[in-house]
Amino acid sequence: MPKMKAAIFVEPGRIVLDEKPIPDIGPLDALVRITTTTICGTDVHILKGEYPVARGLTIGHEPVGIIEKLGSAVTGYREGQRVIAGAITPSGYSYACLCGCGSQDGAGTKHGFKATGGWKFGNTIDGTQAEYVRVPDALANLSPIPDGLTDEEVLMCPDIMSTGFSGAESGAVQIGDTVVVFALGPIGLCAVAGAKLKGATTIIGVDTVPKRLEIARQLGANHIVDFKNGDVVEQIMALTDGRGVDVAIEALGTQATFEAALRVLRPGGTLSSLGVYSSDLTIPLSAFSAGLGDNKIITTLCPGGKERMRRLMDVIASGRVDLKPLVTHRFKLDDIEAAYDLFSHQRDGVLKVAITP
């Protein structure tokens, strides 16, 4: 059986490069040869054992590649075509998909969570940090890359851009809105860009890392709050003349940021949560106006599927948003363990790494 290299979860603290058989495909699948992939903050949760996956699973959920082989029922594509697929690969025909919520496709009971069924790569099936990946339900998920776009230009589409933008979309940002984004990692930075595209005119970014603050400004933040520099809630209330914000986007997944996001909402404002949380949240009565604040709290798992990918690549092709500054480091797949080390310790100003097999 022909083999390939793949980054495999061994146990908490250990993701290693190893050999595995090249995946077999069924009639509805495609085999994609990965040309570029990357590491997500969520992969770091997996590495640390904070988000459990099966031992031996190939990690990674951000594929850019070339169709190597198509399942017998997959029409409308050709082998050799450059494609991406979303981090989330909805089937298109499940109950959740037909309810309009493909990210929860086949919503299962993994680890007692009732959600995340649509997130399969590097979660419930082998992922993309490998030479090849099997893409399930290829007809719903393969999205051809427009001519003229490089791998790195579309590398953020499968997850980071889709998730970040969804923070603004799920929060229903309106023209003229004031939006705050808590945490300016790759997800929060894309949330800033998404809020701007949706029409927010005041965008406040909260973080402390100078390079991230600078890129947030490039992508549309007009105020910066350094969370190491005094009370964040007070600063945001002062910036909004005491009104609070229309939409607070949480892009970290901690009690502190969730709670601050709740405390800075205007009456009737929306908390749009993107973070992956690793422990139970509590909602203090005062932050929650005892349940009488007319606030909305909404969570979003990265939207996937080929139409979402087509739209995001169209945004890139249109030149409306330039996410190239997010790719700060490049590694060969052979060196992925070093890439994990750099990325998980956020050394050397890293934002996203491009990994090429």
Ligand X SMILES: NC(=O)c1ccc[n+]([C@@H]2O[C@H](COP(=O)([O-])OP(=O)(O)OC[C@H]3O[C@@H](n4cnc5c(N)ncnc54)[C@H](O)[C@@H]3O)[C@@H](O)[C@H]2O)c1
29 scored as a contact of Zn ion (CB under 5 A): no
Collapsing DSSP to helix, strand or coil, 208 comes out as coil
CB of 227 to Zn ion, least distance (A): 23
- What distance in Å separates the CA atoms of residue 231 and residue 306, rounded to the nearest whole number? 42
The pair of structure tokens assigned to 125 is: 């099936």
- Paired with 130 in beta bridges are 6
Which residues, including other chains, have CB under 8 Å from residue 66's CB and lie 6 or more apart? Answer: 32, 33, 35, 80, 81, 82, 83
Per-residue binding letters, 18-57, with ligand X (x by CB under 6 A): ----------------------xxx--x------------
Per-residue binding letters, 183-222, with ligand X (x by CB under 6 A): xxxxxx-----------------xxxx--x----------
- What distance in Å separates the CA atoms of residue 91 and residue 101, rounded to the nearest whole number? 11
State which of positions 253-292 bind ligand X (CB under 6 A): 253, 256-257, 274-276
- Paired with 203 in beta bridges are 179
Segment (H or E) for 180:
strand 178-182
Residue whose beta carbon is closest to ligand X: 185
The pair of structure tokens assigned to 248 is: 């607070």
DSSP category for residue 102: G
Q: Which of 159, 177, 246, 259 binds ligand X (CB under 6 A)?
A: 159
CB of 129 to ligand X, least distance (A): 15
Residue with Cβ nearer ligand X (235 or 240): 235
Residue whose beta carbon is closest to Zn ion: 40
Positions that interact with ligand X (CB under 6 A): 40-42, 45, 159, 163, 182-188, 206-209, 212, 227, 251-253, 256-257, 274-276, 300-302
Positions that interact with Zn ion (CB under 5 A): 40, 42, 159
